[in-house]
Amino acid sequence: MSDARTEAIRAERIVKSFGNVVALNGVSMQVAHGETLGVLGDNGAGKSTLLKILTGYHQPDSGQVYVDGKPVRLGSVDEARAFGIECVYQDLALVNGLSIYHNMFLKRELLWGGPLKLLDHKSMRRRAAEALADIGVSVPSIDLEVGQLSGGQRQAIAVARAVSSNARILLLDEPLAAMGAREARLIIDLIDRLKARGDIAVVMIAHNYAQTLEICDRVILVQHGEITFESRTAETSAEELLDIVRREYRAARAG
Amino acid sequence: MTDAAAPNGLARRAYAFLLKPEASVIVVSVALVVYFEMVNRNFLTGANVRTLSQFVAAPVIIACGEIMLLICREIDLSAGQVFALAPFLMENVNDWGVPEPLAIVAALAVCASIGLLIGLITIGLRVPSFITTLGMNFLITGLTLTISRGYPANTSGGPVLTGIMGEWAYSEIIWAVVIVAGMHIVLRHTRWGLHTVAIGGNLIASAEAGIAINRIKIGNFVLTSTLAGLCGLLEAFRVGSIDPLAGGNNMMFLGVASGVIGGTAIAGGAGTIIGGLVGGIMLAILQDGFTLQGINAFAFDIAIGLAILLAMIANTHLARLRGGGPR
């Protein structure tokens, strides 16, 4: 199925070292529009480094990133954003003391009054409500301070903000970490709805194998800077993934 | 808005208003006015209202800058010293033969560059602003004493200029109200204000969103120093003389206290200019009321101290009632 979709982002043989530590040793991956890719792996395996290269935060030592099939240089977060790449970080994304609609429009505020450049609270409020309704996120009031929302609601707002700023490649850093079952459901349903739109590619870093297999179309397993396993989720299981990790763990203990 | 609110919407709105930090201060202020008027029939006379307005103006102008800084998690401890320096700068420039209005502009420009320097040291060299401005506090005091040789001076300038700049009974409070209105718009209705709140609320998220954090912080330092300088000029023209020891720490802390009493979070991320105005009015009522009452100077400071503590305790717990507040 993923063959029929158009490729959104592709990374080819990415190598990245920090001093003597090789964080990524020739990693290649790709995601299509309307597809969700799960990136699994231990802490320190290189997941976050891969994510940060895709967001333009780090630059690879060698290797090439392609967006829509064209080679691109992601020199900064802003440059990546210009290609429609948005990342949602766990719990870092929003300002608790500001209202939902101010958060949704942070740094992209709507203005009125011509040269006076005053904040157009009214339009931002309306457009934010529309954007949330669009992807099926419900909140008690658009004026609520984000700090008064639950973790799941906050995450949903952060995702909605990325989507409403025309993200076409959405990177999610552990979107379900430290979340109860009901909260996680909120985000899983949201990702499902985004997938159904068909125009957004989602890459999510995760720890929970069962949840990742439920949400994603495809998973890759990153171990010590390399991709050691890749599969359509329909063709693998949490047991198979655990087996691979267990083998690695035993080898490490024996070694 | 919601159905539940409809039947008793007014009561609910009144309740919501009372939970705002400004509201409790307004209630306390009104109670204080009633009390002082009962104790002393002269409290609400024209002459005293004029005095009151002069008590209000200076701390509130200082507060407008400090509130912006506190919201983005900075502070300026040297505002009171810039306040004292500005009139001497003006007089010195004036002595070189520069016309008074230009001398005022020159003095404010120097104050602005002091703010810029504070900002550059704080942001560029990563010195906490508490320390930067503590250093500037002493440094500027010394500078003012050096320039003035420790002697007060008289203000010069024609009657119209002096009148506008503070000598006319209500000119200083008008300046304060205009500045409050302007800064309220800046804080609530411009990107500058919104980004100031965002920086204080979540620095990482603000950086991630692409907000120019350094520019905004430095800008707020420049703003605070400039307002402090302007305030010093206004006070000098009002009094008609320039005192090297005018303003000082007392003035700066009155400004900070006005903001904090009015609900500005000392840990950043929240605050209103209107709150600063209301806080300044409450402090002024206390100062002026006790003065009229002839309370002795020692007891006076005890009363002010208690008032600040009580207002802060009330605000903290009302914030908790409100549901939000600091984590």
Q: Output the DSSP codes for A168-213.
A: SEEEEESTTTT--HHHHHHHHHHHHHHHHHSS-EEEEE-S-HHHHH
Asked, for residue A100, whether it belongs to a domain, the answer is: no
Nearest Cβ partner of A106 from B190, B204, B209? B209
Which residues in chain A touch residue B269, judged by CB atoms under 8 angstroms apart? 95-97
Residue B314 banded pLDDT, cuts 50, 70, 90: confident
Contacts of B31 (CB under 8 A, 6+ apart): none
pLDDT for res B300: 76
CA dist., res. A91 & res. A183, Å (int)? 14
Say if CB A90 and CB A177 are below 8 A apart.
Answer: yes
Domain that holds residue A230: 7-94+168-254
For residues B197-209, average pLDDT: 92
CB neighbourhood size of B7 (10 A):
9
Taking CA B79 as the corner, what is the angle to CA B267 and CA B290, rounded to the nearest 5 degrees?
A: 85
Q: Say whether A96 and B211 touch across the interface (CB within 8 A).
A: no
pLDDT for res A78: 86
CA dist., res. B82 & res. B79, Å (int)? 5
CA dist., res. A207 & res. A173, Å (int)? 10
Asked, for residue A161, whether it belongs to a domain, the answer is: no
Which residues in chain B touch residue A92, judged by CB atoms under 8 angstroms apart? 202, 204-205, 208
E strand intervals along chain B = 153-154, 241-242
Which DSSP category does A245 fall into?
H
Asked, for residue A129, whether it belongs to a domain, the answer is: no
Q: Parallel, antiparallel, or unpaired for β A201-205 and B241-242? A: unpaired
Q: What is the ipTM of this complex?
A: 0.84
Residue B6 banded pLDDT, cuts 50, 70, 90: very low
Number of structural domains (chain A) is: 1
Contacts of B206 (CB under 8 A, 6+ apart): A95, A106, B195, B198, B199, B213
For residue A228 the two structure tokens come to 């050691």
Architecture of the domain made up of B25-316: Orthogonal Bundle (1.10)
Q: Which of A8, A46, A25, A68 is nearest to A217 (CA)?
A: A8
Residue B325 banded pLDDT, cuts 50, 70, 90: very low
CA distance, residue A150 to nearest chain B CA (Å): 12
Which A residues, 185 through 244, put their C-beta within 8 Å of a C-beta on chain B? none
Q: How much is the pTM? A: 0.87
pLDDT for res B301: 80
Spans of chain A below 70 pLDDT:
1-4, 91-92, 255
For residue B200 the two structure tokens come to 């204080």
Domain with residue A184: its CATH number is 3.40.50.300
Residue B28 banded pLDDT, cuts 50, 70, 90: confident
pLDDT for res B42: 87
Helix (H) or strand (E) holding A87: strand A85-89
Contacts of A168 (CB under 8 A, 6+ apart): A8, A33, A84, A85, A199, A200, A201
Show me where the domains of chain B are located: 25-316
Which residues in chain B touch residue A107, judged by CB atoms under 8 angstroms apart? 195, 209-211
Say if CB B54 and CB B238 are below 8 A apart.
Answer: yes
Asked, for residue A57, whether it belongs to a domain, the answer is: yes
For B87-143, write each residue's pLDDT tens digit: 999 999 999 999 999 999 999 999 999 999 999 999 999 999 999 999 999 999 999
Count of CB pairs separated by less than 8 Å, A with B: 65
| Average pLDDT of chain B to the nearest whole number | 90
Nearest Cβ partner of A107 from B189, B197, B210? B210
pLDDT for res B322: 60
Q: Which of A169, A167, A146 is nearest to A157 (CA)?
A: A146
Contacts of A97 (CB under 8 A, 6+ apart): A145, A146, A147, B197, B200, B201, B269, B270
CA distance, residue A131 to nearest chain B CA (Å): 18
**Cα diameter, chain B:** 70
Asked, for residue A147, whether it belongs to a domain, the answer is: no
Nearest Cβ partner of A94 from B189, B190, B202? B202
Query: Taking 60 as the threshold, does the pLDDT of residue B327 lie above it?
Result: no
Q: Of the given ranges (B149-163, B210-224, B228-242, B301-315), which has the lowest mean pLDDT? A: B301-315
Helix (H) or strand (E) holding A218: strand A218-223
Asked, for residue A105, whether it belongs to a domain, the answer is: no
pLDDT for res B324: 47
Return the residue of A nearest to B1 by Cα.
A141
Contacts of B80 (CB under 8 A, 6+ apart): B62, B137, B228, B247, B248, B249, B250, B251, B252, B253, B255
Say if CB B270 and CB B262 are below 8 A apart.
Answer: no
CA distance, residue A233 to nearest chain B CA (Å): 32
Cα B160 to the center of its chain, rounded Å: 26
Nearest Cβ partner of B201 from A77, A96, A119? A96
Say if CB A169 and CB A125 are below 8 A apart.
Answer: no
- Position with higher pLDDT, B183 vs B3: B183
Asked, for residue A48, whether it belongs to a domain, the answer is: yes
| CA torsion, ordered A83, A88, A93, A94, to nearest 10 deg | 100
Which residues in chain A touch residue B210, judged by CB atoms under 8 angstroms apart? 77-78, 107
Asked, for residue A63, whether it belongs to a domain, the answer is: yes
Return the residue of B nearest to A165 by Cα.
B209
CA dist., res. B98 & res. B101, Å (int)? 8
- Position with higher pLDDT, B193 vs B155: B193
Nearest Cβ partner of A92 from B195, B205, B210? B205
pLDDT for res A249: 82
